[in-house]
C-alpha cells in the first residue's frame, strides 16, 4: 500500500496534472496511456520529470471492449473518438504568439480502426499495471465513457480525479461538465473546483481589440467523500486521499481523511508521502484546537424572530450567546483569548512550517492567511462587533 499510483489517460505530451514537490516523486508510480501509438516513442524518450516510476501503455480506453474509430486531427492533441463539431467554428486560442483556429485544428486527417477496452478489463488482464489511486483524463470528449468503463477501479481504489470537461460542443454529442459532475457525484466524489480554465476568443480580432476569452473547457478536480471511502484497504485509501487533498490545497479535507484513517505510524521504510502525513498528524494533535462558534447553535430560540427581521448585520453579535461555546473551548484548551493571541501571530505555526518544509509553500501561505483572518474576525465577534 506504500506507493501512490497515478494514471494519466491522454498523455501525448507526457505531463500530468498531479504535480508533487520533487522530494515525493520517488514514491509515485505514473502510468501514461495514449490511444495513438505514434506518440509512444516520444513519451519513452522524454523520461520522467521528477524521478517517479513511469510506465507507458498504448491503449484506447472506453466504456466497452471492441473496435472503434479513432480520428487523428491536424493538431494531434485534438484527436478523439468523437467527430469534431461545428459549434467551435470561429473560436481562436492565442498561444505562443499565434492564433490557433479551434475548429480547423480539429480537422480529421486520418481515421483508424483500433481496439478499445474498459480500464477494468485492462487491469484484469494486465496484473503488471497497478490500479490507480488517482485518475487523470484528457481524452477530447471520451472522458465520461472512460469513467463508465473504470467503474470497478473507481469504486475500490480511486480517491481523486482530474477530468477535462467541456462547456461548448467541441465534439458532436460530447457529455458536458454537468453530466460528468453528476456521474462522479453519484460515485461518491465532491467537485473540488476547476484547476485550469481553457479560454478561447469567440471572434478573431486584431491585437489591441481583445481581452478575456470565453471558457470552452476546463480541468475539473474531484475528491472522494470521506463517508464514501471504502474497500479492502480503507485506511490506505484515506491516507492517499489525505495526501491528494494536500497536493491540491484542501487542508481541511486532508485532516478529515487523516482523522478517519487514524494516525499513520512513522516507520523507517515509509515513502516520503506517508512519513509526511504521519508527522503532519503528530504536529496537529499537539496543537490547541479552537473551533469557530457554529450558527445557529449560538442563536437562542427567543432571538430567532428578531434575527430574521434585523437588516443591520452589525447588530447580529448582540443577539447571539457564545457562553456555552466558550466554556467548552476553555475546558479543553484553556483561555480562548490566549489561544487567539497565538493564532493571530504572523509567523508560521508548526503545521504551516511542516507544509513549507516539504515543498507546499503556497498552501502554507494560504493556511497562514486563513488562520489569522479567522482568528481576527472571531475576536471581533466576541467583542460584539463584525
Domain CATH code at residue 41: 3.40.50.150
- Cβ-contact 227, 215 below 8 angstroms: no
Please check whether residues 218 and 317 belong to one and the same domain. Answer: no
Please check whether residues 194 and 298 belong to one and the same domain. Answer: no
Please check whether residues 169 and 293 belong to one and the same domain. Answer: no
Please check whether residues 55 and 198 belong to one and the same domain. Answer: yes
Cell numbers for 239: 491516507
Which of 177, 200, 224 corresponds to the end of one domain? 224
Please check whether residues 313 and 169 belong to one and the same domain. Answer: no
Please check whether residues 180 and 291 belong to one and the same domain. Answer: no
Please check whether residues 219 and 314 belong to one and the same domain. Answer: no
Tell me the CB-side half-sphere exposure of residue 278, using CA atoms within 13 A.
14
Angle value at C-alpha 270, between 264 and 276, nearest 5 degrees: 60
Strand extents, DSSP E, 201-335: 214-224
- Is residue 332 scored above 80 in pLDDT? no
The pLDDT tens digits for 116-166 are 999 999 999 999 999 999 999 999 999 999 999 999 999 999 999 999 999
Which residues form the domain of 366? 287-382
Does residue 125 lie within any of the structural domains?
yes
Please check whether residues 219 and 346 belong to one and the same domain. Answer: no
Does residue 250 lie within any of the structural domains?
no
- Is residue 232 scored above 90 in pLDDT? no
| 228 vs 107 pLDDT, higher one | 107
Residue 64: pLDDT band (50, 70, 90) is very high
Does residue 148 lie within any of the structural domains?
yes
Please check whether residues 40 and 168 belong to one and the same domain. Answer: yes
Does residue 277 lie within any of the structural domains?
no
Question: In degrees rounded to 5, what are phi and psi of residue 58?
Answer: -85, 100
pLDDT given for residue 12 in this prediction: 77
Tell me the mean pLDDT in the region 94-119: 96
Instruction: Using alpha carbons, select from 82, 117, 91 the residue that is nearest to residue 199.
Output: 91
* Lowest-pLDDT range of 44-58, 87-101, 339-353, 367-381: 44-58
Which of 200, 224, 248 corresponds to the end of one domain? 224
CA atoms of 293 and 215, how far apart (whole Å): 39
CA atoms of 58 and 197, how far apart (whole Å): 28
The pTM for the full model equals 0.93
In the chain, how many domains are there? Answer: 2
Please check whether residues 203 and 322 belong to one and the same domain. Answer: no
Residue 194: pLDDT band (50, 70, 90) is very high
Which of 202, 224, 246 corresponds to the end of one domain? 224
Does residue 109 lie within any of the structural domains?
no
- Is residue 266 scored above 70 in pLDDT? no
Amino acid at each position: 500500500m506504500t506507493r501512490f499510483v497515478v494514471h494519466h489517460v491522454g498523455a501525448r505530451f507526457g505531463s500530468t496534472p498531479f504535480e508533487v514537490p520533487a522530494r515525493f516523486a520517488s514514491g509515485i508510480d505514473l502510468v501514461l496511456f495514449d490511444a495513438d501509438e505514434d506518440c509512444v516513442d516520444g513519451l519513452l524518450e522524454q523520461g520522467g520529470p521528477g524521478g517517479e516510476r513511469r510506465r507507458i501503455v498504448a491503449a484506447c480506453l472506453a466504456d466497452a471492449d471492441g473496435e472503434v474509430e479513432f480520428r487523428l486531427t491536424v493538431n494531434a492533441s485534438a484527436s478523439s473518438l468523437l467527430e469534431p463539431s461545428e459549434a467551435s467554428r470561429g473560436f481562436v486560442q492565442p498561444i505562443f504568439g499565434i492564433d490557433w483556429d479551434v475548429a480547423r485544428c480539429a480537422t480529421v486527417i486520418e481515421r483508424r480502426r483500433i481496439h478499445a477496452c474498459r480500464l477494468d478489463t485492462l487491469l484484469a488482464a494486465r496484473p503488471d499495471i497497478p490500479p490507480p489511486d488517482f485518475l487523470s483524463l484528457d481524452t477530447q470528449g471520451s472522458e465520461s465513457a472512460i469513467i463508465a468503463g473504470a467503474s470497478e477501479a473507481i469504486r475500490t481504489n480511486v480517491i481523486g480525479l482530474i477530468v477535462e470537461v467541456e462547456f461548448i460542443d467541441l465534439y458532436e454529442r460530447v457529455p458536458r461538465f454537468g453530466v460528468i459532475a453528476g456521474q462522479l457525484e453519484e460515485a461518491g466524489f465532491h467537485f473540488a473546483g476547476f484547476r485550469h480554465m481553457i479560454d478561447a476568443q469567440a471572434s478573431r480580432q486584431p491585437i489591441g481589440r481583445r481581452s478575456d476569452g470565453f471558457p470552452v473547457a476546463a480541468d475539473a478536480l474531484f475528491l472522494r467523500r470521506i463517508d464514501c471511502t471504502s474497500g479492502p484497504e480503507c485506511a490506505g485509501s484515506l491516507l492517499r486521499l489525505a495526501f491528494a487533498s494536500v497536493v491540491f490545497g484542501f487542508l481541511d479535507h486532508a485532516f478529515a481523511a487523516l482523522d478517519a484513517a487514524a494516525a499513520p505510524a512513522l516507520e523507517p521504510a515509509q515513502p516520503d508521502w506517508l512519513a509526511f502525513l504521519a508527522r503532519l498528524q503528530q504536529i496537529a494533535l499537539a496543537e490547541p484546537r479552537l473551533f469557530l462558534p457554529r450558527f445557529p447553535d449560538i442563536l437562542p430560540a427567543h432571538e430567532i424572530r428578531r434575527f430574521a427581521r434585523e437588516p443591520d448585520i452589525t447588530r447580529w453579535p448582540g443577539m447571539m450567546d457564545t457562553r456555552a461555546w466558550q466554556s467548552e473551548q476553555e475546558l479543553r484548551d484553556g483561555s480562548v483569548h490566549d489561544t487567539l493571541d497565538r493564532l493571530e501571530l504572523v509567523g508560521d505555526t508548526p503545521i504551516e512550517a511542516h507544509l513549507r518544509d516539504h515543498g507546499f509553500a503556497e498552501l502554507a501561505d494560504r493556511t497562514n492567511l486563513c488562520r489569522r483572518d479567522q482568528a481576527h474576525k472571531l475576536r471581533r465577534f466576541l467583542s460584539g462587533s463584525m
